[in-house]
A = this chain, B = another copy of it.
Amino acid sequence: MIRIGIVGGTGYTGVELLRILAMHPHAELAMITSRGEAGNAVAEMFPNLRGHIDLAFSEPDPARMAECDLVFFATPNGTAMRQVPQLLEKGVKVIDLAADFRLKDAALWRQWYGMEHACPELLAEAVYGLPEIYRDQVKDARLVANPGCYPTAVTLGWLPLVEQGLIDLEHLIADTKSGVSGAGRKAAVPTLMGESGESFKAYNVHGHRHQPEIRHNLERVTGKSVGLTFVPHLLPMIRGIHATLYGTIAGEYDLQTLYQERYANEPFVDVLPAGSHPETRTVKGVNHCRIAIHRPLGGDTVVVLSVIDNLVKGAAGQAVQNMNLMFGLDETAGLQGVALLP
């Protein structure tokens, strides 16, 4: 059994991580810390965990944390980077579900996250935890940067086209839509049901932190500069991301086969039959990314549709997939459930 600690964990990413770990055959939850909730039973805050998780939240305790094999950070951006160096030093592996280690460039990170990075020397070592690109590196990693939710859906959607150099890299467009759970569990007017229910809007069109993360991903793959327009929208539902990707393609290619072959051995990427329209509900609660490729009316614009559950493949599920790789387990351990439909 892997001894696991969780820092943070009172948000939606946290409860989803707890849900998955509660059903994982090789995970033992040793501690979960929260200053604000210390002493309170986890199952009182998240009643779905009654009978599954007996732990209470505790004050952060570096000594006890150092006894874990692995610590997940489900904290706001800027928290993990202050504690990770000590943990690594003690031999504890770390998966950060926040953004602290997702970019390789400390200056770019500062620009988008508005603070100085606390341990820029670890940025090179940190492995970006998208197994479909970096599986081998994840296996050997001490520190994994778990990808953002939008970047997971968008990067997987474009990967085969970008790897093969088939698409115009200067005018990529990602029109993305997310359920409200992506905005977290903090009290805030815009995500009240009275505000976000029965309505739809774009947000942060001028610039969103996932734009540089996606560019970064694609530029590392292709080695070239990428021009990306990224527009996120808020859906009146709880879980799910749908990315609709637009790009210009020059010649005639069998894109369906390209995608199917690229992802043939991926346990969590499912390329749908030609002509399909993936629904977010078909991945609700599971770690899958479902993708369909279209070329409408035979034109030179390719349209890729990519869906994930933002809390699973976009956060906690992918983190557990990375854990499985880091500890030599079956990559799908604890992640074999079937999506809840309807």
B193 near A48 (CB under 8 angstroms)?
A: no
Residues of B with C-beta under 8 A to A237: 197-200, 236
B242 and A200 contact, CB distance less than 8 A? yes
| A46 interfacial by beta-carbon distance below 8 Å | yes
What are 18 sample pairs from A and B whose C-beta atoms fall under 8 A apart? A47-B278, A47-B279, A47-B282, A48-B282, A175-B246, A180-B194, A185-B189, A191-B194, A197-B197, A197-B237, A198-B198, A199-B281, A200-B235, A200-B280, A201-B277, A203-B277, A211-B297, A239-B342
Contacts of A23 in B (CB 8 A): 336-338
B-contacting 9-mer, from A28-36, A125-133, A226-234:
A226-234
Contact residues in B for A235 (Cβ distance below 8 Å)? 200, 235-236
Residues of chain B within 8 A (CB-CB) of A46 are 341
Contact between chains at A301 and B173 (CB < 8 Å): yes
Q: How far is the CA of A183 from the CA of B187 in the complex (A)?
A: 14
A199 and B280 in contact, given A15-B341, A231-B296, A294-B206 (Cβ under 8 angstroms) = yes
Residue with the highest number of chain B CB atoms closer than 10 Å, among A195, A282, A290, A338: A338
Q: Choose the segment among A49-57, A97-105, A139-147 that binds chain B (4+ C-beta atoms closer than 8 Å).
A: A49-57
Query: Which residue of chain B has its CB nearest to the CB of A297?
Result: B207
**Could you tell me the distance between the alpha carbons of A186 and B181 in the complex, rounded to whole angstroms?**
18
Contact assessment for A338 and B229 in the assembled complex, using a CB-CB cutoff below 8 Å: no
Give chain B residues whose Cβ lies under 8 Å from the Cβ of A199: 237, 240, 279-281, 284
A195 to B207, CA, bound (A): 28
Bound-state CA distance A282–B47 (Å) is 6
Does A303 count as interface, using CB distance less than 8 angstroms?
yes
In the complex, residue of chain B having the shortest beta-carbon distance to the beta carbon of A281: B199
Contact present for B294 and A205 (CB under 8 Å): yes
Contact of A197 with B238 at beta-carbon distance under 8 Å, contacts A188-B187, A282-B48, A340-B285 already known: yes
Q: Is there a chain B Cβ closer than 8 Å to A137's Cβ?
A: no
**Chain B contacts of A337 at CB under 8 A?**
23, 337
- Answer whether residue A12 sits at the interface, using C-beta atoms and an 8 A cutoff: yes
CB-nearest residue of chain B to A199: B281
**From residue A280, how far is it (CB to closest CB) to chain B in Å?**
5
- Give A297 to B206 CA distance when docked, in angstroms: 6
Q: What chain B residues lie within 8 Å of A200 (beta carbons)?
A: 177, 235, 237, 240, 242, 279-280, 307
CB–CB A205/B175 < 8 A: no
Which residue of the partner chain, among B188, B246, B283, B296, contacts A206 with CB atoms under 8 Å? B296
Q: Is A305 an interface residue, CB under 8 A from the partner?
A: yes
